[in-house]
């Protein structure tokens, strides 16, 4: 690894500090180097707060350092437009930095190379493409939304080695270890929204909140999204506690909607031709609401429907070293008649978590 890559890796580690708080903005890290040593560090603050570059410059100045002539390492192209904050590219120019090294160009159409062009026009040396792969992975949801208008959809399941998520009688607590369950909470925490179906709510009555130690770092809980075609949810369901939910239904029930709205719940009616919720429209709508990553924890029927309708980007599978025999499966799929019809994925990452395996597999 080159020195430039080592410095960018450090900036990426800083960026991780914003993963659970800066959405819908990307998690970005920045370090400022002068005379061979780091003089400032920063990462993206919650929406409305400083971007990583501004934080790093403030850190350097607070320590009494002169930024002029320094090199800035940042994991994403400095912005060039006015959003919640002024353009970072302009601030870097005014600060008099000599060089800016970025991991990758910002896919946001409002930036998309304009930040780097502005820096170069001001006489600043620019280098891009350093550690681009890890930088893209860290903000895969943001990049997906910028390029497709939809969030990155991650479907999580916990199962035995023979693919069972529960016993035949529905008992499922607990198939995987506490360590695996804690790890799963981290994925919940980084998501902008958590989606489940009415079947899971009626059977398990979950809260669908982040409850691990990671929750302490959160400035917000993910939006809780419910797919409920008949709008049959009980008004006292645990998931509705605290309000702020979003329910997608296939029917317009004025009375029930009014009751839910009094509890701080928004209902969106989005039917498909079969009288059920249009799942693709759900994904598109969440993208419009600036959700970068959508975390799905649902039952086998909704899991299967999301996959059949090409709404899932990635599976997050926790496999326990156990065999349950006849029980409930991960996906309630109709039988295939030919192997050519199978849903193919690629293993992206396989990691052991305590005694369980965590598998990330992607459809594309």
Contact indicator for 29, 147 with CB cutoff of 8 Å: no
| β-bridge pairing 293-296 and 152-160 | parallel
Contact indicator for 30, 7 with CB cutoff of 8 Å: no
Of the residues 53, 77, 297, 314, which is catalytic? 53
Q: How far apart are alpha carbons 147 and 165 in whole angstroms?
A: 34
Contact indicator for 40, 60 with CB cutoff of 8 Å: yes
Burial 146-182 (b: 16+ CB within 10 A, else e): beeebbbbbbbbbbbeebbbbeeeeebeebbbeebbe
**Catalytic site includes residue 53:** yes
| Residue whose structure tokens are 């009616």 | 269
Contact indicator for 217, 21 with CB cutoff of 8 Å: yes
Contact indicator for 199, 342 with CB cutoff of 8 Å: no
Which H or E run contains 271? none
Strands (E), the chain: 29-34, 37-43, 71-74, 99-102, 125-128, 152-160, 164-167, 193-197, 223-227, 245-249, 266-269, 293-296, 314-320, 327-329, 346-353, 356-362
Q: How far apart are alpha carbons 321 and 323 in whole angstroms?
A: 7
On the 0-12 / 13-18 / 19+ scale of CB atoms within 10 A, 296 is: buried
Nearest to 113 by CA among 94, 126, 97: 126
Active-site amino acid positions: 53
């Amino acid at each position: 690894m080159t020195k430039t890559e080592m410095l960018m890796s450090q900036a990426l580690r800083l960026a991780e500090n914003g993963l659970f708080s800066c959405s819908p903005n990307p998690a970005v890290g920045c370090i400022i180097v002068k005379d061979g040593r780091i003089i400032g560090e920063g990462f993206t603050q919650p929406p409305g707060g400083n971007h990583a570059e501004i934080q790093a410059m403030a850190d350097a100045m607070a320590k009494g350092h002169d930024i002029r002539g320094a090199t800035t390492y940042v994991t994403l192209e400095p912005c060039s437009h006015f959003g919640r904050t002024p353009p970072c590219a302009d601030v870097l120019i005014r600060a008099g930095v000599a060089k800016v090294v970025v991991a990758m160009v910002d896919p946001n159409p409002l930036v998309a190379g304009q930040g780097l062009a502005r820096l170069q026009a001001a006489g600043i040396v620019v280098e891009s493409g350093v550690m681009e792969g890890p930088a893209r992975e860290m903000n895969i949801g943001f990049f997906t939304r910028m390029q497709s208008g939809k969030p990155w959809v991650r479907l999580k399941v916990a199962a035995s080695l023979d693919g069972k998520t529960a016993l035949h009688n529905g008992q499922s607590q607990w198939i995987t270890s506490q360590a695996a369950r804690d790890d799963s909470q981290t994925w919940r925490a980084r998501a902008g929204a958590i989606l489940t179906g009415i079947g899971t709510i009626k059977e398990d009555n979950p809260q669908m909140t982040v409850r691990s130690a990671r929750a302490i770092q959160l400035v917000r809980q993910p939006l809780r999204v419910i797919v409920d075609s008949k709008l049959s949810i009980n008004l006292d369901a645990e998931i509705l506690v605290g309000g702020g939910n979003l329910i997608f239904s296939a029917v317009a029930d004025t009375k029930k909607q009014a009751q839910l709205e009094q509890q701080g719940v928004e209902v969106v009616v989005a039917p498909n031709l079969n009288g059920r919720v249009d799942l693709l429209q759900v994904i598109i709508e969440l993208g419009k609401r600036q959700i970068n990553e959508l975390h799905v924890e649902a039952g086998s029927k909704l899991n299967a429907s999301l996959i059949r309708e090409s709404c899932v980007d990635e599976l997050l599978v926790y496999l326990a070293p156990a065999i349950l025999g006849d029980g409930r499966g991960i996906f309630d799929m109709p039988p295939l008649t030919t192997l050519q019809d199978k849903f193919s994925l690629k293993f992206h990452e396989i990691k052991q978590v305590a005694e369980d395996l965590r598998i990330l597999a992607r459809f594309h």
